[in-house]
Amino acid sequence: MNIRQGEVRFIPVDDLGSHETRPIVATNGVIIVGESESHHHHVLDADGVTVMERINVPAGMRILEAIVEKPTRLRQTAGNPHGSHEIAPGKYEIRIKREFNPFMEMARRVAD
């Protein structure tokens, strides 16, 4: 079952494949999976979670890969946040929603 929170979507997968990636480093015990212009980030508690970012993706796109070894929470760091979701152990592809700006003729990530 896909899990959505704002512009962030978790897609369970059996295999993450072999993509060129770089690690996402935890800050203050959380991993930011969706960055917000207003600093109301979408985060995972870092304990038991590994997140990598795919490097060679189309312009404006961000794809993350997560290995969750024990249940964790997806939550938002906002005064009035989106509801939190429990993320079960498993492998996930994390996609960040994009929008197309026809005036600039380019795609960009959606941000809260």
- Tens digit of pLDDT for each residue in 37-96? 666 777 888 889 999 999 988 777 789 999 999 999 888 776 565 667 789 999 999 988
List the domain range (segments joined by +) for residue 64.
3-110
Q: Give the predicted TM-score (pTM) of the model.
A: 0.77
Half-sphere exposure of 112 (CA within 13 A, CB side): 19
Residues found in the chain? 112
pLDDT number for residue 112 = 47
Label residue 105 by pLDDT band (50, 70, 90).
low
Instruction: Estimate to the nearest angstrom the gap between the alpha carbon of 63 and the chain centroid.
Output: 7
Q: What's the number of domains the chain is made of?
A: 1
